[in-house]
Structures are given as C-alpha cells and as structure tokens.
Amino acid sequence: MLSGKTVLVGITGGIAAYKICELIRMFKRVNANVRVVCTPNALNFVTKLTLQNLSQNEVGVEEFNIPDFKPEHISYADEADVMVIAPATANTISKLASGICDNLLTSVACAFHKPVIIAPAMNCNMWQNPIIQENLKNLKTYGYTILEPESGFLACGYQGQGRLCALEKIFDATVKKLSTKKILTGKKIIITAGGTIEDIDPVRYISNYSSGKMGIALADTAYELGSDVELVTTVPAKKPYVVTKVKSAFEMKNAVMEHFSDADCVIMAAAVADYHVKEKSAQKIKKTNDDEITLTLVKNPDILKSLCELKTHQTVVGFCAESENLLENAKEKISKKGCDYLIANDISRKDIGFSSDYNEVTILSSAGVVKELEKADKYTIARQIFEEIYG
C-alpha cells in the first residue's frame, strides 16, 4: 500500500531519534519514497548524512533553504501523502497545537493538509503534564493521529510511560492511513451527538448520561472517509468540519431540518430526551415546606420519525439504547420509525455503556438484515457502520 507513496518523516530532538533510522528502512523496503525533515536539535542524536543515505533524499533542516524558487515548507507539504512525526517532543507537540512555525518541521506541519501521525516520546513526568495532555487533546480534535508512548525504562533513568511506541505500530498506522478508501467522498452527512438538555428553570434541567462519544466518533470517521460533515451536538467539540452546538430537542430538530434536504445521510446518534417541562420557570423554583413537587412533562418532537416521514433520497440511521430485550425492542423501533438502519446498543453494560470508549452494537436494516459488531473502540465501530451502509 506504500509503494509509490511519499512518506514525510519529521524527526525532533529526542533520544529516540536514532530509532527512526530503522523506520525509514521499513518504509523503503516497501518501495515508499521517504523525505525527511529534522529540527536542528534532532541532529544532536542522528546525523544528516545517515538520514540522507537511508532515505536516498536530501534532508531538510533549514527553513529558508529555497531551491528552484519554491518555498521549501510548502514544497514538502505538497509532495507527501502522509506526514509522520517521530519522535515528537513535548516542545514540538506544544508548537503544533499552538500553530507556531519557528522551524522547517513545524512550518511544514502547519501547511500539511493530509494525514499527520504523531508518535510522542519524552520523560514520563513531561508526558503526564496537564498542559501537554491538553495540547494532545487539541491535536486530536484537529484530526491528528496520536500514537501514545509505551511504558518502560526511559533513557533519563525514570520508569514510566514515555518510550516511543513500537516502530511496527507507526508503520501500520501509516499503511492504514494511506489504504483508507474514501467511500464517502461526495456525500453530505449530518450526525447528532450527546444528550439533549431540557430546562426546568434557570438552574435545573432534565437530561441523560450520553457523553456524545459515539456520535463524535461517527463524525470524525465520516470526515476521514471523505464526507462533507455537519455535527449537531450538545457537547462542545472543536473539529475541522462544521459543528453546530445545540441544547434542547427542539434546537436539535431545527438544526437538523435546516440542512436535511441537501443531506445524503442523517445519523441520529444523540440521546434525545423524550419529554420537556410543560411550563419552564423563568426564575429559580424555591424550595417549600412541601415534601413533593409536581412537574408536568410534555413529549418532545420525534426527530427520527419526522426525518423518516420527510426523506426522499436520504438514508436515515437511528440509534436504539436499551437496557433489556435489545433485539426485540430494536426490531419494534425500526418498524415504528421507518428508518433505513437502526444501531442498537446495550447501555446496561458498563464496559460499553454511556461514557465508555468502547461499544458493541447490532445493526438492523429495513430489509430485515441483522448484523452484530463485536466489542471494539467506538472509532472502529463507526468505520464498520459506514462500511455496512456504503461498503
């Protein structure tokens, strides 16, 4: 899958830089064209001559070395199919997260609009620093792939997480990025995420435990597969695609309906509250001497059913969160709603329920096909869902 592809390897100033010589050899063995960009400090750990011999290409270090009147950072960014930054130091990670371009590597990364894989390596205390973790979190939201370091004995003498991950893991991640079929190119997909919030008064509300992780995983995956994505979410999300922040079921319905006619697919992964308070108080409801308080609840709009009634060319996918009789309830729901697909998941299990990074679902189609997806991380589940619908 790498034959004929150009892999841009970015090396920063960490002791693990010497390991990247073997990574370059791995890429070359499968006939990849390897370009190398180093920070000046990286050359304290590995020589430019070594990297040039292994990659069989000139190694970029100086930002303003501009041959043939081509800005070098743009030239590197345009020519490569994927960028791998390994090892990535805390310093470079923080620069990337802040958009700082003070050397050739960070300038190239800023201009790079294709997949970027980052393999950090550093002292375990640096890795655990909340600032570094926040920067990594931000890079993930921008679409970067982060390969976390492994635990073990570190060059600084510490024992802990900070060692560069296995080179095979970096290699496999690179292959995966370049072998991904853009099966959603040309599609516009609307995805909802999170649990809606229905106000009781300015202080209190009715909601649920949905974290929005499954919906966000679906949106990220759809974007990676080439789709034009709009995420309608109740939880904050900084993404490279369109994000519409909403709160209540009515707001979510309005946001989805606004662009429904232009959409090819809508996936209702959000946990929409079934009811809202009939008379929301404008002021905080004060505690009284009564032991009870009565709230009158009114049904919220059934967004999924409304979409199914209005659809013309759109594929409508619903979600079914059940705590018992999963398959029976799912079959009843897909029949009542009229959606094309229904994703059923068991929320009673703590290992795959709300807020978990993992899921295990059953996909039901309107044609009566039932397919079970084994437990996996939510991004893997998201990819399998799209492969089932569009594969």
Catalytic residues: 156
DSSP, collapsed to helix, strand or coil, labels residue 175 as helix
DSSP, res 70: -
Q: Please check whether residue 252 is in contact with residue 212, taking contact to mean a CB–CB distance below 8 angstroms.
A: no
φ, ψ dihedrals at 241, nearest 5°: -115, 180
Q: Which long-range contacts (CB under 8 A, 24 or more apart) does 132-140 make?
A: 132/90, 132/93, 132/94, 135/93, 135/94, 135/96, 135/97, 135/98, 136/93, 136/97, 138/97, 138/238, 139/93, 139/96, 139/97
φ, ψ dihedrals at 265, nearest 5°: -155, 140
Say which amino acid occupies 204.
R
Among the listed residues 343, 171, 347, 152, the one whose alpha carbon sits nearest the alpha carbon of residue 265: 343
* Beta partners for residue 376, in sequence order: 359
Helix ranges (DSSP H) in the chain:
20-29, 48-55, 72-79, 90-98, 104-111, 124-128, 130-141, 167-179, 213-224, 249-260, 303-310, 326-337, 378-390
